[in-house]
Amino acid sequence: MEYSIGEVAKILDINPSTLRYYDKEGLLPLVNRTPSGIRTFNQDDLSLLRLVQCLKSSGLSIKDIKQFVDWTLMGDDTIEERRDMFRRQKAQMEAQMAQMERTYNAILYKCWFYETAYDEGTTDFDPAKTPDEVAMLKRNSGLHHEKQSN
């Protein structure tokens, strides 16, 4: 089964221009063309595009992804480089997820803070009189902004 650029765009919910941009950047080195020059995408191209989306959402840049694609084209001699890239990216994502959890806790605290402020009709309530769990979260969040500046 083959697909036009517009069909691929719909399937993967990408702008056709973005697909052309990826192609120009060397991310899609194996896309075929009709004799008149129109791109025809096959299942492999779709798989690669899904991988590109995944790598992008893991935080890799277009440049990094091109490097990976180039390594893949070179074959088995570059397995180590690719392995190391994924090891690094795994570590990077773990750091990112840890950071995200800390940020999420701070947002949770802010949610609690404004739910309470909403109920009280003011941000100037006494944060000492609060459920223990949230109070602990507050102590750990490093966000005591309201106390001083409101």
Residues that bind a second copy (CB under 8 A): 30, 43-44, 47-48, 50-51, 54, 57-58, 72, 75-76, 79-80, 82-83, 86-87, 89-90, 93-94, 96-97, 99-100, 103-104, 106-108, 110-111, 114-115, 117-118, 121-124, 142-145, 148-150
Q: How far is the CB of 5 from a second copy (least distance, A)?
A: 19
How far apart, in whole angstroms, are the C-alpha atoms of residue 123 and residue 144? 12
Q: Judged by CB under 7 A, does residue 82 bind DNA?
A: no
* 17 or 25: CB nearest a second copy: 25
Residues 36-75 that bind DNA (CB under 7 A): 36-39, 56, 61-63
User: Any idea of the CA torsion for 50, 73, 75, 42, to the nearest 10 degrees?
Assistant: 50
Q: For residue 29, give every residue at least 6 positions away whose Cβ sits within 8 Å of its Cβ, in sequence order, or none.
A: 69, 73
Give the tokens for residue 146. Answer: 């309201």
Give the tokens for residue 137. Answer: 């979260």
Of 2, 21, 87, 91, which one interacts with DNA (CB under 7 A)? 21
What is the pairing mode between strands 32-33 and 39-40? antiparallel
4 interacts with, out of DNA, a second copy, none, CB within 5 to 8 A per kind: DNA
Q: How far is the CB of 36 from a second copy (least distance, A)?
A: 25
* CB half-sphere exposure, 92, CA atoms < 13 A: 11
Q: Which long-range contacts (CB under 8 A, 24 or more apart) does 113-122 make?
A: 113/138, 113/146
* 47 or 122: CB nearest DNA: 47
Residues that bind DNA (CB under 7 A): 4-7, 9, 15-18, 20-21, 24, 34-39, 56, 61-63
